[in-house]
Amino acid sequence: MRKLFTAQIAANSGLTGLLLLLLLSVGLVRADDREYPSDLPLADQLVAQARAMESDDINKAILMLKNREKEVKKVASSGELARFYNKLSELNSTLGHLAEQREYATKGLALIGDETVPIGADLNYNLGIVYEMNADFESALKYYRKGLEIAQLTNHLLYQGRGKLFISLVYTFDGDYERALEIMTESYVIAQQVNDDDLTWEVLNGLHILYGNLNDDEKALEVGLQALETSRRLGIKALRIVDLHNIGLTQLNLKQYEQANQTFEEMRLESETSTELSDMYNAYKGFAVVAFEMDQGDRALDYLTKAEEYLPHVQEVMVQIDFYLIKARVLSKEDQPSLALEVLSIAEQKMPLKYHKNDNRLGLAVLRSKSRFHAELNNYKNAYELLKSHSDGLRIFRREKTQTAIRKLRVSFDVERNESRNNMLAKDNEIKALQLKQATSEQQIQIFFLVVLGMLSVGLIFVMYRQLHSRRQLKTIAETDSLTELFNRRYAFASGEQMVKEGNEGDSPLSVIMFDLDHFKTINDTYGHPAGDLVLKTIGEISKGCLRGSDVLARIGGEEFIAILPGVKLEMAEFIAGRLKDKLETFQQQHEQNKFFVTASFGVAQNKDKDDFEHLIHRADKALYQAKDNGRNCVALAG
- pLDDT of 10 over the 60 cut: no
Give the pLDDT score at 259. Answer: 93
Burial class of residue 242 (count of CB atoms within 10 Å of its CB; 0-12, 13-18, 19+):
buried
Q: How far is CA 445 from the centre of its chain?
A: 27
**Which pLDDT does position 300 carry in this prediction?**
87
- pLDDT surpassing 60 at residue 402: no
Judged by DSSP in three states, 134 sits in: coil
Residue 89 identity: S
Q: Are 413 and 424 in contact (CB under 8 A)?
A: yes
Q: Measuring CA to CA, how many Å separate 171 from each of 175, 178, 509?
A: 6, 9, 42
Contact partners, residue 315, CB within 8 Å, separation at least 6: 96, 97, 98, 99, 133, 278
Q: Could you report the per-residue pLDDT of 301-331, keeping only the tens digit for each?
A: 898 888 888 888 876 777 778 888 888 888 8
Contact 42, 72 (CB under 8 A): yes
**Euclidean distance between CA atoms 404 and 410, whole angstroms:** 10
Q: Based on C-alpha coordinates, what's the Rg of the chain?
A: 28
- pLDDT exceeds cutoff 80 at 241: yes
Mind listing the pLDDT tens digit for each residue in 37-89? 446 789 889 998 988 887 778 888 999 999 999 998 999 898 889 999 999 99
Per-domain residue ranges of the chain: 380-479, 489-637
Check residue 53 and give its pLDDT.
86
Q: What type of residue is 434? A: L
Query: Smallest Cα–Cα separation from 325: which of 385, 368, 278?
Result: 368
Mean pLDDT of the chain: 79
CATH topology of domain 489-637: Alpha-Beta Plaits (3.30.70)
Q: State how far the Cα of 589 lies from the Cα of 583, in Å rounded to an integer.
A: 12
CB-based contacts of 441, cutoff 8 Å, min separation 6: 395, 398, 399, 402
pLDDT of 34 strictly over 70: no
In tens, the pLDDT along 462-518 reads 545 555 554 555 555 668 888 888 998 888 898 889 888 888 888 889 999 999 999
Residues 304, 326 contacting (CB under 8 angstroms):
yes
Q: Which one is predicted more confidently, 343 or 530?
A: 530
* Contact (Cβ atoms closer than 8 angstroms) between residue 9 and residue 213: no
Any alpha helices (H) in 95-176, and if so which ranges?
Answer: 98-112, 118-133, 137-153, 157-173
What is the per-residue pLDDT across 283-306, written as a single tens digit (0 to 9) for each?
899 888 998 888 888 888 898 888
The pLDDT of 174-183, averaged and rounded, is 83
pLDDT digits (tens, 9 = 90+) for 352-383: 666 666 556 666 677 677 777 777 777 777 76
Is 50 exceeded by the pLDDT of residue 6?
A: no
Structure confidence by residue, pLDDT tens digits, 570-627: 999 999 999 999 999 999 998 888 899 999 999 999 988 777 888 999 999 999 999 9
Angle formed by the axes of helices 613-629 and 489-505, nearest 10°: 110
- Asked if pLDDT for residue 3 goes beyond 60, the answer is no
